[in-house]
Chain A
Amino acid sequence: MEIQREQMNVVIVGHVDHGKSTLVGRLLADTGALPQGKLEAVKANCARNAKPFEYAFLLDALKDEQAQGITIDTARCFFKSARRDYIIIDAPGHIEFLKNMISGAARAEAALLLIDANEGIKENSRRHGYMMSFLGIKNVAVCVNKMDLVNYSEETFNKIKTEYTKFLKEINLEPQYFIPIAAREGDNMIGLSKNMPWYKGAYVLEALDGFKKAASKAEQSFRMPVQDIYKFTEEGDDRRIFAGRVETGTISVGDDVVFLPSNKSNRIKTVESFNTPTKTQASAGQSTGFTLETQIYIRPGEVMCKVKEKLPAVSTKIKTNIFWMGKQPLVKNKRYKLKITTQQVPVILSEIVSVMNASELSSVKKDHVDRHEVAECILETMKPVAFDEVGQIAETGRFVIVDNYEIAGGGIILASVLEGKTALSEHIQKREFEWERSNITPDKRAQKYEHKSALIVITGQIDTGKQRIAKALEEKLFDLGKFVYFLGLSNRLSVAVDELKDKTLGKFEHIQQLGELAHIMTDTGLILITSITDIDDYELMMLKSLNSPNKILVINVGENQFSEGAVDLLLKANEDTAIAIQKIVDLLIKSVVLDPEYFI
């Protein structure tokens, strides 16, 4: 087999009509990358429709694009140079299609930025330049196009070069090449043009080949966001595999690892793969999977790290730069979903430091971020997330924000923010402060009902008999004359949430509603019983906080996935009802919810 060639993704950006698609079309035609007959077919099609041939028609494949003469969405095209293979991403220049441009550019390792020599630097020349800097693209060549329209004037070229270099300097972007070209005419594309003898630098193809691939990330600290945990027991496979892609670093069998944000540790037992020789190591870029030495319960989204290396930050507050693409503006007091690596958590905008016009580099103070604006913001997540600063490890320092099913913003993390008060603790403090107390104290109620109030949460995996136990417990306590209620609402709520809402936000909302409701009902002196499926330590903690200062007892049925000390009683899956009830009643007596004096 031929030695594998290197591949590089290159995005073509710039203001509308500055000739991006023409450049790509010409490049494909001149390097022989077009399939046989394609050029002739497009030319014939133009002749049939009585419109002049354009190289751009080779790329603007969509019917609307050809009709309107613009690029609407990013196209991937493939071509080869002597040095390597390229995927060229032709991005649209219209502001309206900025999100498409960003989608293309986010995949790129290098960029060609086009400026029309005749029109000069335009709004999107600057905006796109800024976005290259935002996206962290280091390989940049600026092509001053349509030089034929300015008589191949060196003076015009130098004027644009000086002005644009100054702009790029302000945003810390240093292009490696500045090339005068006429893409349609083929000047300085795959060789130096006779029309510009004053230019002795690299031509476009030479510049592309001159770009360097980023150094391997295998030497950085190890990060593998867990994508999923597989166990295909039904097919006779007992391996419990923690699957994901190694973003940075290298790991070997026997290495000690820690999962963040949960902080659970373990050791690598095996590296798993299909149709390969046995592996003992995995490194950056590989989609792989591991089995671990001891049993552990974590969810997808945790970041696997190496104990002996620098660990990511874990926090609920982050300082970020956000680029907003949403139809609705980014506002405070609204819950969004944050996706960072494979973590998904509810998030709120807690502060806008400044909002910037990416084209003019001017910043203003605003209370919301509009479409196509860039803003420095503080975000607060409703659960801790693990991340790195983007300058340290880019892969774990970037995120998107989802608003109403759509990715509405992209961002990079600048720093962790000292947490101080969380939105939850502030809410509880405010609630307690504003709560109008009645004349009947909790003690008076306890005396009257002959027991203290409590929230009893029966949790565990699906189909472990939680509801059966919960209902039987209600009956038992009711028969004993206790003030008790089984809240079945929780399950119906979560079904409604499943169908209508985002899973991540829906679950959070469900726990919040349950916590608030439990707080009121336990305040009446009630023993409230409820069952809830598949919650984690943090969600349990949230439920406890919301129910506070009232008592909560947690009973886990089946495999215990919580940290030590989180659960008050462990029951086997499908435990016999009578035994389960007895154990719970014992617990209630022990934890003085039921006073044994009254319990005869």
Chain B
Amino acid sequence: MNKLDSLESQSVYILREAYREFKNLAMLWSIGKDSTVLLWLARKAFFDHVPFPLVHIDTHYKIPEMIVYRDELAKKWKLNMVYGQNTAALEAKKTFPDGAIDRISCCKLLKTEALKHTLDGSWPRYRLNHTTGKYDVDTNTEPYTGVIVGARADEEGSRSKERYFSPRDRNSDWDVGDQPPELWNQFKTDFAPGTHLRIHPLLDWTELNIWEYIERENIPITKLYFDQGDGKRYRSLGCYPCTFPVESKAKTVHEIVEELRAGKFKNIAERAGRAQDKEDGGGLETLRREGYM
């Protein structure tokens, strides 16, 4: 087995453990390359099926192509697609693009808060109706007790300290000082009522591994990652007011792999284009402790 085979096998193992142990399981799909690889790994694990809902937190400021791509793939692969949103903050214009608050507070409202309330079912969930092609309010408001997330250890400091199965308390808070032991592929799958677990099948993957796997498996990826002719592409996707494209002429997956392996991005961190990280003192710990992905 080569490196990608081992990474794939371990991720599939984790996904299957999660599916067996959690009745209310969901996968977060941010539409980016990592969670799209995660989605692909689910199809590997369950033999062409994705037996749980995919949850997208729509901040309303996502790059529009992302939403188009999301719905295309959801229809094509018959995904149980759900999205949640902080409609109150958006209506009150309490956002960074509206000039009302700073970037970190905006992330907290549009992502962390929206995520927390979508996961626990206290805010409406919008579910794709495959017959009409439109989103309806989901009748299922049960809290998700297992949430699969595409975080990678090489992204930033606090993620390098994560477990594959990571408990979150009633307020979605992460107790970094007291994480459960994880031995020999025995994970924490038992949890007290009211708490939930985040599951991280991609922890051992690097950004380069992700692209190598996309190339090997020929996984469809949104075109925002590629140079469309203006010498720019996105390396990491997020909200357009806070995510900036990088200078790059990579037009294919292979060119991206080469760029990361030996080219200009060999030694430049992936999230260098994310403005909110810098405001958090170089990491995401503050946001992540409170429930950010």
Q: Does A185 contact B (CB under 8 A)?
A: no
Considering the chains assembled together, what is the distance between the CA atoms of A32 and B267 in angstroms? 8
Closest to B19 in A: A228
Considering the chains assembled together, what is the distance between the CA atoms of A71 and B115 in angstroms? 30
Looking at A175-183, A197-205, A249-257, A271-279, the stretch in contact with chain B turns out to be: A271-279
Q: Does B229 contact A (CB under 8 A)?
A: no
- Render A415-457 as a binary contact track against B, CB cut-off 8 A, 1 for contact: 0000000000000000000000000000000000000000000
Closest to B205 in A: A78
Q: Does B183 contact A (CB under 8 A)?
A: yes
Q: Does A146 contact B (CB under 8 A)?
A: no
Contact of B157 with A78 in the complex, beta carbons under 8 Å: no
Contact of B20 with A228 in the complex, beta carbons under 8 Å: yes
Considering the chains assembled together, what is the distance between the CA atoms of A287 and B283 in angstroms? 34
Instruction: Evaluate whether A102 and B181 lie within 8 angstroms (CB atoms) in the complex, with A36-B268, A38-B269, A273-B47 already known.
Output: yes
Q: How far is the CB of B21 from chain A (nearest CB, A)?
A: 9
Q: Does A64 contact B (CB under 8 A)?
A: yes
Query: A76 contacts which of B203, B269, B283 (Cβ < 8 Å)?
Result: B203
Contact of A325 with B16 in the complex, beta carbons under 8 Å: no
Q: Does B173 contact A (CB under 8 A)?
A: no
Contact of A64 with B177 in the complex, beta carbons under 8 Å: yes
In the complex, which residues 45-79 of chain A have their Cβ closer than 8 Å to any Cβ of chain B?
45, 59, 61-64, 72-78
Considering the chains assembled together, what is the distance between the CA atoms of A1 and B46 in angstroms? 27
Q: How large is the interface on A (under 10, 10 to 19, 20 to 34, 35 or more residues)?
A: 35 or more
In the complex, which residues 107-126 of chain B have their Cβ closer than 8 Å to any Cβ of chain A?
none
Point out the residues of chain B lying under 8 angstroms from A235, CB to CB: 49, 78
Instruction: Evaluate whether A243 and B161 lie within 8 angstroms (CB atoms) in the complex, with A61-B283, A76-B204, A99-B181 already known.
Output: no
Q: Does B233 contact A (CB under 8 A)?
A: no
Instruction: Evaluate whether A227 and B181 lie within 8 angstroms (CB atoms) in the complex, with A4-B4, A241-B47, A274-B47 already known.
Output: no
Point out the residues of chain A lying under 8 angstroms from B186, CB to CB: 339, 399-400, 407, 410
Q: How large is the interface on B (under 10, 10 to 19, 20 to 34, 35 or more residues)?
A: 35 or more
Q: Does A300 contact B (CB under 8 A)?
A: yes
Closest to A401 in B: B186
Q: Does A565 contact B (CB under 8 A)?
A: no
Considering the chains assembled together, what is the distance between the CA atoms of A560 and B191 in angstroms? 32
Query: B285 contacts which of A36, A41, A63, A106 (Cβ < 8 Å)?
Result: A63
Point out the residues of chain A lying under 8 angstroms from B281, CB to CB: 45, 63
- Tell me the interface secondary structure of chain A in the complex: mixed
Considering the chains assembled together, what is the distance between the CA atoms of A405 and B78 in angstroms? 35
Query: A287 contacts which of B4, B9, B156, B192 (Cβ < 8 Å)?
Result: B9
Query: A100 contacts which of B5, B6, B179, B192 (Cβ < 8 Å)?
Result: B179
Considering the chains assembled together, what is the distance between the CA atoms of A106 and B283 in angstroms? 27
Q: Does A155 contact B (CB under 8 A)?
A: no
Q: Does B228 contact A (CB under 8 A)?
A: no
Point out the residues of chain A lying under 8 angstroms from B216, CB to CB: 1
Query: A41 contacts which of B13, B160, B188, B282 (Cβ < 8 Å)?
Result: B282
Q: Does B217 contact A (CB under 8 A)?
A: yes
Q: Does B136 contact A (CB under 8 A)?
A: no
Considering the chains assembled together, what is the distance between the CA atoms of A6 and B251 in angstroms? 28
In the complex, which residues 188-239 of chain B have their Cβ closer than 8 Å to any Cβ of chain A?
188, 190-193, 203-204, 206, 212, 215-217
In the complex, which residues 363-406 of chain A have their Cβ closer than 8 Å to any Cβ of chain B?
395, 398-400, 402, 405-406
Considering the chains assembled together, what is the distance between the CA atoms of A586 and B215 in angstroms? 66
Q: Does A310 contact B (CB under 8 A)?
A: no
Point out the residues of chain B lying under 8 angstroms from A337, CB to CB: 190
Closest to B195 in A: A405
Query: A407 contacts which of B156, B160, B188 (Cβ < 8 Å)?
Result: B188
Q: How far is the CB of A394 from chain B (nearest CB, A)?
A: 9
Q: Does A103 contact B (CB under 8 A)?
A: yes
Q: Does B98 contact A (CB under 8 A)?
A: no
Contact of A102 with B183 in the complex, beta carbons under 8 Å: yes
Q: Does B250 contact A (CB under 8 A)?
A: no
Contact of B285 with A74 in the complex, beta carbons under 8 Å: no
Considering the chains assembled together, what is the distance between the CA atoms of A272 and B161 in angstroms? 35
Point out the residues of chain B lying under 8 angstroms from A41, CB to CB: 282
In the complex, which residues 156-191 of chain B have their Cβ closer than 8 Å to any Cβ of chain A?
156-158, 160-161, 163, 176-177, 179-184, 186, 188, 190-191
Query: A103 contacts which of B13, B48, B154, B181 (Cβ < 8 Å)?
Result: B181
Closest to A34 in B: B267
Contact of B215 with A62 in the complex, beta carbons under 8 Å: no
Considering the chains assembled together, what is the distance between the CA atoms of A482 and B43 in angstroms? 56
Contact of A407 with B183 in the complex, beta carbons under 8 Å: yes
Instruction: Evaluate whether A75 and B188 lie within 8 angstroms (CB atoms) in the complex, with A2-B261, A61-B283, A287-B9 already known.
Output: no
Point out the residues of chain A lying under 8 angstroms from B257, CB to CB: 1
- Render A293-309 as a binary contact track against B, CB cut-off 8 A, 1 for contact: 00000001000000000
Query: B269 contacts which of A32, A35, A78 (Cβ < 8 Å)?
Result: A35
Closest to A504 in B: B190
**A/B interface sample: 10 pairs, CB < 8 A:** A4-B3, A36-B269, A62-B285, A75-B160, A99-B181, A100-B179, A239-B47, A243-B47, A289-B47, A406-B180
Question: Knowing that A103-B181, A237-B47 are A-B contacts, what are 18 other residue pairs whose CB atoms are under 8 Å apart, sorted by A's residue number?
Answer: A35-B272, A63-B281, A63-B286, A64-B176, A73-B161, A87-B204, A99-B180, A103-B183, A106-B184, A227-B17, A241-B47, A274-B43, A274-B44, A275-B217, A286-B5, A287-B13, A287-B44, A395-B184
The 6 residue pairs across chains A and B that have the minimum distance between CB atoms: A61-B157, A4-B2, A35-B269, A287-B12, A76-B153, A405-B190
